[in-house]
A = this chain, B = another copy of it.
Amino acid sequence: MKIIIDTMGSDKGMEVIVKGALDAMAEKDFYPVFCGPEDELVKIIPNELIENDKVSIINAEDVIENTDEPALAIRRKKESSMVKGLRSLKNDEADGFLSTGSTGALLAGATLIIGRIENIDRAALTVSIPGVKSSTIVLDVGANMDCTPELIRQFAIMGTCYAKTVFNKNNPSVGLLNIGSEEGKGNTLTKESYKILSNQKLNFVGNIEPRDILDNDVDVIVTDGYDGNIMIKTIEGVASTIMGLLKEGIMSSTMTKIGGMLVKPALGGIKEKLDYRNLGSAPMLGSKKPVFKAHGSSDSLAIKNGIFQLIKFIEDDVINEITEIMRGE
């Protein structure tokens, strides 16, 4: 299995991306194709791996920045690592693509270069949020603004396929993110989406309030990409603020420092539970080929786990599953 890894666009530099991939190779059998500036990559990648054809490089000298207008960048920056990597995937030279770069550009690239599954109008950025009871798949978390109820319906179908195949859920439950639990709550989009979701061959369980986002037993939650992004960024911000305050509080006196050492095992468990690095990456669900986004600030552990997730996604053939179901639509 060949995986193209975009080495550009990371907040932490390409060394971290390469290290994550090499760590992944030590645990799982796959062939990484690093996409980025060759002259720099050959200095980081151990020579014997290149010589023995255990890895290869696609030379790409340009990079798409977060500040670039996504669709324009995909069209114009033909020498960027993202465009060259996606073109290689499109030409069947590999099985999947992983990038830490601009979410907007990756979505535009997945659409303009790779294309969408038949009868899917938009690809959705899909994350798995760790929780107290179990993890929950949430889509869309930032690819599509101003969604329609029809898009929400498609997200629900794709999310169900993903939960079935990759997460081995039997008859996955689907919830609609909303500000109240009763039918009739919310804005025009959620009210209409509720009606449509109720009439599908889906295990629709109604509205899910964000209050229960880390403590629910729903398998899939669907939402407009703007609201999904507001929610995951709030989770990230609040978790990071609380853990920061906690650390600060513990460091504030000798007594609390000693206490901190004693409670450390308990704290570690929470950090582990809420750590996005254990999940690593998120598919652009709806793309014709596996395109994964990893967090811009991913460290090597996050990259390693992200690659594992992408490999499982390819092995489980999620895209074929979605394609079959959408063909019947």
Contacts and interface: CB of A to CB of B under 8 A. Distances in A.
A145 interface: yes
Contact of A238 (B234, B258, B267): B234
A142 B227 CA distance: 14
A78 interface: no
A246 B234 contact: no
Interface string A72-90: 0000000000000000000
A41 interface: no
A226 interface: yes
Interface string A257-285: 01111111111011001100000000000
Contact of A245 (B177, B253, B261, B270): B270
A245 B133 CA distance: 12
A52 B253 CA distance: 51
Contact of A179 (B142, B146, B212, B262): B142
Contact of A187 (B179, B213, B226): B226
B233 A179 contact: yes
Contacts of A266: 246, 248-250, 252, 256, 259-260
A263 B234 contact: no
- Secondary structure at the A interface, as helix, strand, loop or mixed, is helix
Contact of A242 (B142, B209, B242, B263): B242
Nearest to A270: B245
A239 interface: yes
Interface in A200-215: 209-215
Interface string A145-160: 1100000000000000
A296 interface: no
13 contacts: A132-B244, A179-B233, A187-B224, A211-B240, A215-B241, A227-B230, A234-B234, A239-B242, A242-B243, A245-B269, A249-B270, A256-B266, A259-B259
Interface of A: 67, 132, 142, 145-146, 177, 179, 182, 186-188, 190, 209-215, 224, 226-227, 229-231, 233-246, 248-250, 252-253, 255-256, 258-267, 269-270, 273-274
